[in-house]
Amino acid sequence: MIVPIIKYGSPLLRKHSIDITGEDNPIQLSKNLLDTLKKADGIGLAAPQAGILKRTFVIDTSPLSEDDNNIEKIEKAFFNPEITWRSEDKIYYSEGCLSIPSIFEDILRPQKIRVKYFDENFNIIEDEFDGLIARIFQHEYDHLDGILFIDKLNPLKRKLLNGKLNKIKKSI
Q: CB of 58 within 8 A of CB of 39?
A: no
Q: What is the pLDDT of residue 65?
A: 72
Q: How far is CA 49 from CA 14, 37, 52, in A?
A: 10, 11, 7
Q: CB of 138 within 8 A of CB of 111?
A: no
Tens of pLDDT along the chain (172 residues) come to 999 999 999 999 999 999 999 999 999 999 999 999 999 999 999 999 999 999 999 999 998 877 777 778 899 999 999 999 999 999 999 999 999 999 999 999 999 999 999 998 899 999 999 999 999 999 999 999 999 999 999 999 999 999 999 999 988 7
Rounded CA-CA distance 47/13 in Å is: 10
Instruction: Please tell me the chain's helix, strand, coil percentages from 3-state DSSP, rounded to the nearest 5.
Output: 35, 30, 35
Catalytic residue among 105, 120, 128, 140: 140
In the sheet that 75-86 helps form, which strands lie side by side, from edge to edge? 44-46, 56-60, 75-86, 112-118, 124-130
> Helix, strand, or coil here: 96?
strand
Which CATH architecture group holds 11-170?
Alpha-Beta Complex (3.90)
Q: CB of 104 within 8 A of CB of 97?
A: no
- Is residue 72 part of the annotated active site? The answer reads no
Q: What is the pLDDT of residue 149?
A: 98
Helix (H) or strand (E) holding 140: helix 131-143
Per-domain residue ranges of the chain:
11-170
* Contact residues for 128 (Cβ-Cβ < 8 A; gap 6+): 112, 113, 114, 115
Rounded CA-CA distance 134/130 in Å is: 5
* Contact residues for 93 (Cβ-Cβ < 8 A; gap 6+): 106, 107, 109, 132, 135
Q: What is the pLDDT of residue 71?
A: 79
**In terms of Cα–Cα distance, which of 36, 55, 59, 38 is closest to 47?**
55
> Helix, strand, or coil here: 58?
strand
Helix (H) or strand (E) holding 63: helix 62-65
Q: CB of 124 within 8 A of CB of 74?
A: no
